[in-house]
Amino acid sequence: MTNSMGDLPHCPRHPDRVALVSCQRCGRPTCAECQRPAAVGVQCVDCVKTHQKQSRSLVTAFGGRAVQGRPVVTITLIAICVVVWVAQKVDPTVTTDMLYAPVLSGQDPWRFLTAAFVHSPDTPFHLLFNMYALWIVGQYLEPMLGRARLLALYLISAVGGSVGYELLASTPNSPTDYPTGWVTPTVGASGAVFGLFVAVVVLNRRLGLESGPMIGLIVINAVIGFVLPDIAWQAHLGGAVTGGLCAGAIALLGRTRARWQWPALAAIVVLLIALAVIRFESVHLPVG
């Protein structure tokens, strides 16, 4: 007696193929091409795809998409800063095209953001310190917030740092009487990093976690900003306040009202723009 091929199980995805192995998840027969190794036995490719979609839909405590593995956003931000720093060494105009100074706010508004991606080309320690700090705090926040929210927090804090520098810069009494503050350029990611520092404290408090070491780090760096010369403490303060506002909005709205977090962050951006415009217009001085 011989068995007919029609009596044997066939793969649903490839009906012309006999499948003598069943998926451990759904129980359907699966051919060799559609099998995927599992902890026990095999799973079919359809079950694997469904599981991956469900995993991607998991959200964090603050409504962001849960991520695992390498902190992609953090690594990307560090890589951009390093590449830009190398470009600064090769072409000095990169620095002058991306730095921020309050006097340039009206004609080059993009500098509010780009200044966070350039560092002192003659001081590698400036870049190394900021990138180390970004790596430490970024890899902590990225799984907590999700990639999109971390990126938004960093960029908005970077702009907030520049706005803080503009708001607190000393202003001239006349077009020929420029003091140091209004025309002195600033570069560096420290404003954005301070925003992430404060965000850790705010979010940890929401989750009931300790933030003692982070608070100590913030205090130490704040003191350094006032003690050492050539450090834009105004940008640190602006970034810290902005990061705290962003994190506060995210924490307050939480996962249940996560869709309102983006309008809240957008409102903070609008507030920063309004403050920057009002401050610049109150000076009324030409660039030259």
- 272-286 tens-digit pLDDT: 999 999 999 988 655
Query: 191: exposed, middle or buried (C-beta count within 10 Å: 0-12, 13-18, 19+)?
Result: buried
Q: Which residues contact 113 (CB under 8 A, 6 or more apart)?
A: 155, 158, 159, 162
**Residue holding tokens 């965000």?**
199
Q: What angle do CA 124, 83, 118 make, to 5 degrees?
A: 60
Residue 136, classified by CB atoms within 10 Å of its CB into exposed (0-12), middle (13-18) or buried (19+), is middle
41-72 pLDDT, tens digit per residue, is: 788 888 888 776 655 557 888 988 877 788 99
Instruction: Quickly state the pLDDT bin for 201 (edges 50, 70, 90).
Output: very high
Tokens of 69: 């593995």
State the pLDDT confidence band at 222, using cuts at 50, 70 and 90: confident
Res 179: pLDDT? 57
Residue 284 confidence (pLDDT): 63
pLDDT at residue 175 is higher than 60? no
Q: For residues 89 and 84, what is the distance between their CA atoms, to the nearest angstrom?
A: 9
Write down the mean pLDDT value for the chain.
Answer: 88
- The helix-helix angle for 147-168 and 124-145 (nearest 10°) equals 130
* Cβ-based neighbours of 234, under 8 Å, separated by 6 or more: 164, 165, 167, 168, 169
- pLDDT of residue 223 exceeding 90, the answer is no
Q: What does the angle CA 236 – CA 167 – CA 122 come to, to the nearest 5 degrees? A: 45
pTM value > 0.85: no
Q: Where are the domains of the chain?
A: 5-56, 72-281
Architecture of domain 72-281: Up-down Bundle (1.20)
Alpha carbon 147 to chain centroid distance?
A: 7
Mean pLDDT along residues 81-94: 97
Contact 165, 272 (CB under 8 A): no
Per residue in 92-118, pLDDT (tens digit) is 999 999 999 999 999 999 999 999 999
Q: What are the tokens at 175?
A: 């077009």
pLDDT digits (tens, 9 = 90+) for 113-165: 999 999 999 889 999 999 999 999 999 999 999 999 999 999 999 999 999 99
Q: pLDDT at position 3, please?
A: 45
